[in-house]
Structure 1
């Protein structure tokens, strides 16, 4: 709404549907009456206006996937979360004091592409919202643009004057006032309001000195919101401390705030001193002569005497190496000098009562990219680069402003791709900075070394040990693996060597690279600790607390990968145990490609036979890895089959039996084979549910639809009782496919939607994408071709992010079906070709997918009238169906061939 009307970034092409949507969104969550909608849509309502409105609503529902429009006797209601509606979100942010975030939601003039009777009043309402945002937190540019369109708005004019004043542009601020006063007198015959006059007086009064605040030679980029926040906090609090790691831009932010302060400001840099009081005396311009009364006064006494009656902001930079002394001296000043406010920068808090902390964290991708490009173009005018690559470089540099500036300076001599390739040795690459900077800010190494030198021995030891973690760690992991006490951990957070996000501790990669050079080798301890966590979690992944435990393992994903990688090269037994313990996690999260690669690497490290005592773990690796095995895949399956057959009790990890069945496929008319597999299932509720679903799949492949439906319904109910969403989703997906085969599109949609919802809860992106494909197929059967197309496109996007080639192939196959049923045979053939190319050799589901592609190719050829080609494709599909012992597909293909035979 705050610009052209968009839904999830997509334009609604039809003008009247766009206007209807805008009206409903303006009153999201409330019923909008029929008469109001008709009057808002049509300048002159047509005959049969009520039917026309109903037709527009129906079209809108088809056009915008997922839109929930409720019909009531009185009208229609759009069901939407206020957080998903930009003008409501904007108003909420404004109420929360986050005007800059509210302004960021605006993309142009409100309802820019809506032309309907209701639009003028709606635009006025939204424009008032924009003005409120701009007055509360707009930049000079925002305010200037708005004032040009609303020159008599005194609130806008006063806000612009204050903004210009904060930017140090007092002359321009006074000109804005003069123009406004003349305009008010000429247009309305009135004097400026008290609010506008007060802004004028503020600018006139701002003539106090700024002592020693450094002038800057480069533009200020990327921290506009921080600047506004700190300026606001400094007006409301007497001590604000900017904290953060070295190089994030604390000093630069403090300088920018100082330049915008209207009164007296004194800047004091403590980096080269240990005498805080004398440095502050120099900073506020106090000389010893004439200050001392009869008795000698200390520097602190003179400082407090000099500041007792002054209104001044002290900007005290680089407090970290004298933090105790700085806290003592500044605390005494604040308690005795009521007109003093302090803006400090430090890598840890000062710890004074009343201190307001403002963390200066990494720049986000957009701000970091702007900073890089700004500094790069300063050294190489006309510099251009792919923004994604710039953003990647900035991310790898942790968004640290100094590191980004040092890297940008390198574009004068190195291509950006070369800079990116050399970031693994970032300290060497970023070894030259400004000759005028303090020595500790000339290189990235010096920045981090300064922080390291300020640590105590125990703090250095923990900082070095912490580098064993990948992607951070929780408190329990840090204390166990690093053998650390909590106080030392808290101290590292206070000193900005670690960050605490939620309940996890994280170290920036740049700091980690430095500290790792001092670290002992804790990788075995790390791997064994995470093995214990994985083993503890595994039973819970098949129970009601599945989501919670999946989330725990997902948070440790990088650590788990690091543990497997290290163990694969150093302790194959440990590696086997890790891969086996994580199999259920990988399966439920849809991370099968990753699991297969890990298992394959471990198998290569083990050789042809399992290490003694690790036969089960080795077998599970065989079952995980066979789809990507090079050479004879069937040999791995036979080896796994033989190892499992030799077991005389259920395996440690029940998922093994399920994967055994998937790897070997449906047994060929031999119930003894099926019972040989199921005998290894335990007598627990999860295994019983798996038997029901497995039997249901067998019945379905055998063409016993009624039996399959009953077993799968019971299996879905059993998995639901157990709490395993993945097992229940598997059953519901199969029930949806049975319903589709039976021509029952409505029930197919119900079953598939239940599966998709469960998979979304699991965060299984690959399986979710597959379910969206299934939903699209059901929509085709229901006649909703537009909805099906939207779902196939969504499935493609989800599958691409998950790296799921077979699911992508399924989405292209679905688009081929859509093209065929609409008569676009050329597109249908091209989509079939894309689907075929995406099917990898030897992976979960590719043979079945190729069978479906062959069927679709046959249908396209048949519809084109090329019966010979159709026959060839159907025969190919039949061969594949017979190889999979899939009676359902076999029957369908034979029917197509029989129809061709009588043509």
Structure 2
């Protein structure tokens, strides 16, 4: 949800749809809460801000306004506290708070772009005038930090005696080469100050005047720009600052990221002399520089000195900024010439652009990286509007296009240019063949910038054979890779132990370093992959070894560190399984089995299930020779998402495990076997098999406590189940397995909830959530959120329960966990029933039913609970016949699950209906 106060007061839902708040007092209340979002706003302050004369029963009136506002804006979360009310939202969801944050970060232009008109427009309440005055100061600071001359003129018109604004306007006009206008602004200000206040201009305003008067012809050969400068305000601020502190700054980055555009913008804003030199079409750096600073070549024909000597002589006494563009193809020559110029000419500064550093002592590197999502979307929209006025598209669709183009400015501009002839959805669909799609650029651009292919090819052609070989091999990785992985998988004869070739690719902007990992932009990867040998088998086998090495550590105290390492390679692991599934089913089976613990601990069960299901289909009905354990593991992982005979798959896994005479290679297999079979019958053979599968390691011992606790609970012995689960939680905590401990704490929470102790349930579930947060376990966290919501519901806190259910559903959808989504909708059904909205309650039950084709405890477990809820809804409506039918359906399912707890609860519901 998004809240706007920097203009008309607005609220938008997650889809961007504006929700109208028509009632003036509700609109004013929303504005007051939004201005201090995340903080408690006191009752007295709210009343004084809303009413000139607070009405009788003021507290009730305020409570009524809050209640109406919640109904007007579905999903709005306003918490009540003893001291007042608090709007619950992220600061980035309120334009004012985001504006202040951007301003503090030095991104004044971005902050200014958030303003939509007069602040709090349409709000007429006692608080409004003071609030607008406060917001006016914020707007002025935005204009001072990042405003254009137009913005500053607007502020100055409203505040003509603000000398800081007048000085900023003069400097902005001066940067644009409009010296006469800047001097006129000063003259008007001096006269106004004398007439109104009888004072002279302040030192700051006088200094701005002096800067304009002393200006020399500042911009020699700097290209004029035909498009607006979008998305690099922070880079612009940083580079300008560094040029004030250093004599050589080099903008480095891949082709097309916008290095030249940024350098040109810096040049236009530089108050002193600037010369722009493009090296892309020359190999004679010194002569190009001499031409760029305005020394005529005719004067050199008979000169007794070299070009470089003449260049140094021409610059020796000048204060000048040299913008030297496109150094990469003459990097050695450029470094030598610029190095001698900087050494001999103390008042010369250089801003260079290159795809690799110049390597000169004192060089300051400023990487020009991919645009962030916000800037990329703004750039796409700006350029699309230029070719197709009125262009609009969903933010999410534009963001996805920009993400797939790696945030590369040129690629985004080329894609935006295609909206004139293609819908944006079609552009997104064609990005797999991005080089063909983005093959038409500006006819006035340099050839290497007219197509995306040409941009990357320019970098490729500048590589050595060794660098090309490694760049091509590197494309086998997905996401990023460690140095160990690159060294082992690429097996390049040119990748020396010290990694010099890889470092060279980093220097030349073909590979990026993020922490201690290396990655290649998808656009560069797509080009280099056309030159690559097939290393996918080596890639998959290296990551199999990595997963096998990690597995024991995932059940121990160092669990989080190893999970973090594997999570960094998640894209590689998925790619390895996908390739092996189509090419080597034995390898695929090994990978799925080795990764089972990783997927389980990270709460990615549904993703793992789909992978395992694909491997089983690739294997067919026959177990590959020598892979019995791995095949059984796939069966146990995949059955919740499998189509067809799910029970048959569980039975097949059970039969395969019956052949084992010792614990399996991966202990988690025993846990998954128990979950798939459900509560065991009093069958000595089943118990004997379970004991045979259990190892004597501490993790398996902890699992016994939790497993036996679950069984005891399902058999109706709550006290014994509770004690065993406590022992299991303690045992898992001793060995450091957060996931196992969280499982036990969640179950303890459910027991407490069933006994009516909502406070204890919240404590246990909160402990589980803390542990799951350490693991980043999305699916399990969603389940814990549902348990927390149910506990809040039992405690009577319906508002926070609704929030928790919504968060759980969001997490579950993100993880693709349909069974967890079903639990979320079932919780919302209970909430709707309690509020008397039986139609919504039935609808939520229907959604839960549709999402329950399978589940980790069997579809009947969830469908039993859905039937119970439907029975309660029918009972609430007074339809006892229908209620009995639903409860009887639930009882049949509970008996099939051998769950005594649920069976007892359903029998109680039936008994309450009477004979």
1:674 aligns to 2:687 (yes or no):
yes
1:160-199 matches, within 5 Å, as 160-199=169-208
In the alignment, the residues of structure 1 paired with residue 42 and residue 772 of structure 2 have an alpha-carbon distance, to the nearest angstrom, of 38
Q: Contact 2:108–2:146 (CA<8 Å) still a contact in 1? A: yes
Residue of structure 2 equivalent to 1:471: 479
CA deviation map 1:675-699 (0-9, x unaligned): 4213311111111111111111101
Alignment counterpart, residue 807 of structure 1, candidates 796, 820, 824: 820
Residue of structure 1 equivalent to 2:450: 442
Residue of structure 2 equivalent to 1:235: 244
1:330 aligns to 2:338 (yes or no):
yes
Most deviating of 475-484 and 453-462:
475-484
SS at match of 1:582: helix
Alpha-carbon shift at residue 417 of structure 1 (Å):
2.7
Alignment counterpart, residue 734 of structure 1, candidates 718, 723, 747: 747
Call closer, same or farther: CA 1:61–1:755 in 2, change over 3 Å. Answer: farther
1:76-115 matches, within 5 Å, as none
Alpha-carbon shift at residue 670 of structure 1 (Å):
3.0
Most deviating of 79-88 and 387-396:
79-88
SS at match of 2:693: coil
1:481 aligns to 2:489 (yes or no):
yes
Calculate the TM-score normalised by the size of structure 2: 0.89
Q: Contact 1:61–1:69 (CA<8 Å) still a contact in 2? A: no
Most deviating of 676-685 and 17-26:
17-26
1:777 aligns to 2:784 (yes or no):
no
CA deviation map 1:262-316 (0-9, x unaligned): 22221111112111111111111213555799x8211110000011111222111
CA deviation map 1:741-797 (0-9, x unaligned): 111111111111111222222111121111111111111111111111121222222
In the alignment, the residues of structure 2 paired with residue 562 and residue 481 of structure 1 have an alpha-carbon distance, to the nearest angstrom, of 14
Residue of structure 1 equivalent to 2:569: 556
Structure 1 gaps of 5+ residues are none
Alignment counterpart, residue 575 of structure 1, candidates 564, 573, 588: 588
Q: Contact 1:3–1:108 (CA<8 Å) still a contact in 2? A: no
In the alignment, the residues of structure 2 paired with residue 226 and residue 141 of structure 1 have an alpha-carbon distance, to the nearest angstrom, of 22
SS at match of 1:679: helix
1:352 aligns to 2:365 (yes or no):
no
Call closer, same or farther: CA 1:747–1:501 in 2, change over 3 Å. Answer: same
Call closer, same or farther: CA 1:457–1:342 in 2, change over 3 Å. Answer: same
Alpha-carbon shift at residue 169 of structure 1 (Å):
4.2
1:94-493 matches, within 5 Å, as 128=137, 131-132=140-141, 134-140=143-149, 142-288=151-297, 296-483=304-491, 484-485=495-496, 486-493=499-506
RMSD, aligned CA? 3.7
SS at match of 1:345: strand
In the alignment, the residues of structure 1 paired with residue 568 and residue 399 of structure 2 have an alpha-carbon distance, to the nearest angstrom, of 24
Call closer, same or farther: CA 1:319–1:560 in 2, change over 3 Å. Answer: same
Q: Contact 2:5–2:119 (CA<8 Å) still a contact in 1? A: yes
SS at match of 2:393: coil
Call closer, same or farther: CA 1:881–1:77 in 2, change over 3 Å. Answer: closer
1:828 aligns to 2:841 (yes or no):
yes
In the alignment, the residues of structure 2 paired with residue 60 and residue 372 of structure 1 have an alpha-carbon distance, to the nearest angstrom, of 36
Calculate the TM-score normalised by the size of structure 1: 0.90
Alpha-carbon shift at residue 126 of structure 1 (Å):
6.3
Most deviating of 828-837 and 125-134:
125-134
Alpha-carbon shift at residue 446 of structure 1 (Å):
1.7
In the alignment, the residues of structure 2 paired with residue 67 and residue 721 of structure 1 have an alpha-carbon distance, to the nearest angstrom, of 38
Call closer, same or farther: CA 1:883–1:140 in 2, change over 3 Å. Answer: farther
In the alignment, the residues of structure 1 paired with residue 447 and residue 27 of structure 2 have an alpha-carbon distance, to the nearest angstrom, of 62
Residue of structure 1 equivalent to 2:579: 566
Most deviating of 362-371 and 75-84:
75-84
Q: Contact 1:70–1:79 (CA<8 Å) still a contact in 2? A: no
Alpha-carbon shift at residue 144 of structure 1 (Å):
4.2
In the alignment, the residues of structure 2 paired with residue 111 and residue 717 of structure 1 have an alpha-carbon distance, to the nearest angstrom, of 55
In the alignment, the residues of structure 1 paired with residue 438 and residue 105 of structure 2 have an alpha-carbon distance, to the nearest angstrom, of 41
SS at match of 1:344: strand
In the alignment, the residues of structure 2 paired with residue 108 and residue 716 of structure 1 have an alpha-carbon distance, to the nearest angstrom, of 57
CA deviation map 1:151-191 (0-9, x unaligned): 32211221222223324444544444344334333432333
In the alignment, the residues of structure 2 paired with residue 864 and residue 55 of structure 1 have an alpha-carbon distance, to the nearest angstrom, of 28
Alpha-carbon shift at residue 739 of structure 1 (Å):
1.1
Alpha-carbon shift at residue 98 of structure 1 (Å):
5.8
In the alignment, the residues of structure 1 paired with residue 801 and residue 26 of structure 2 have an alpha-carbon distance, to the nearest angstrom, of 19
Alpha-carbon shift at residue 242 of structure 1 (Å):
1.1
Residue of structure 2 equivalent to 1:766: 779
In the alignment, the residues of structure 1 paired with residue 344 and residue 728 of structure 2 have an alpha-carbon distance, to the nearest angstrom, of 75
Most deviating of 398-407 and 727-736:
398-407
SS at match of 1:678: helix
Q: Contact 1:657–1:678 (CA<8 Å) still a contact in 2? A: no
Q: Contact 1:380–1:411 (CA<8 Å) still a contact in 2? A: yes
Alpha-carbon shift at residue 470 of structure 1 (Å):
0.4
Call closer, same or farther: CA 1:733–1:611 in 2, change over 3 Å. Answer: same
Residue of structure 1 equivalent to 2:667: 654
Q: Contact 1:61–1:67 (CA<8 Å) still a contact in 2? A: no
Most deviating of 691-700 and 443-452:
443-452
In the alignment, the residues of structure 2 paired with residue 563 and residue 68 of structure 1 have an alpha-carbon distance, to the nearest angstrom, of 51
Call closer, same or farther: CA 1:16–1:730 in 2, change over 3 Å. Answer: farther
In the alignment, the residues of structure 2 paired with residue 18 and residue 379 of structure 1 have an alpha-carbon distance, to the nearest angstrom, of 39
SS at match of 1:468: coil
In the alignment, the residues of structure 2 paired with residue 874 and residue 78 of structure 1 have an alpha-carbon distance, to the nearest angstrom, of 41
SS at match of 1:354: coil
Alpha-carbon shift at residue 116 of structure 1 (Å):
8.3
In the alignment, the residues of structure 2 paired with residue 106 and residue 498 of structure 1 have an alpha-carbon distance, to the nearest angstrom, of 38
In the alignment, the residues of structure 1 paired with residue 548 and residue 626 of structure 2 have an alpha-carbon distance, to the nearest angstrom, of 17
Call closer, same or farther: CA 1:17–1:664 in 2, change over 3 Å. Answer: same
Q: Contact 1:19–1:41 (CA<8 Å) still a contact in 2? A: no
In the alignment, the residues of structure 1 paired with residue 880 and residue 701 of structure 2 have an alpha-carbon distance, to the nearest angstrom, of 48
In the alignment, the residues of structure 2 paired with residue 609 and residue 898 of structure 1 have an alpha-carbon distance, to the nearest angstrom, of 50
1:865 aligns to 2:883 (yes or no):
no
CA deviation map 1:364-400 (0-9, x unaligned): 2232233333333433444443333232222212122
SS at match of 1:363: coil
In the alignment, the residues of structure 1 paired with residue 268 and residue 430 of structure 2 have an alpha-carbon distance, to the nearest angstrom, of 38
Alignment counterpart, residue 506 of structure 1, candidates 503, 519, 525: 519
Q: Contact 1:239–1:356 (CA<8 Å) still a contact in 2? A: yes
Structure 2 gaps of 5+ residues are none
In the alignment, the residues of structure 1 paired with residue 415 and residue 720 of structure 2 have an alpha-carbon distance, to the nearest angstrom, of 66
Q: Contact 2:236–2:262 (CA<8 Å) still a contact in 1? A: yes
CA deviation map 1:89-115 (0-9, x unaligned): 987876775656776788887788998
Call closer, same or farther: CA 1:51–1:393 in 2, change over 3 Å. Answer: closer
CA deviation map 1:868-894 (0-9, x unaligned): 111111111111111111111111111
Residue of structure 2 equivalent to 1:711: 724
Alpha-carbon shift at residue 2 of structure 1 (Å):
9.2
Alpha-carbon shift at residue 241 of structure 1 (Å):
1.1
In the alignment, the residues of structure 1 paired with residue 879 and residue 13 of structure 2 have an alpha-carbon distance, to the nearest angstrom, of 42
Most deviating of 436-445 and 500-509:
436-445
Most deviating of 659-668 and 802-811:
802-811
Call closer, same or farther: CA 1:836–1:508 in 2, change over 3 Å. Answer: same
Alpha-carbon shift at residue 452 of structure 1 (Å):
0.9
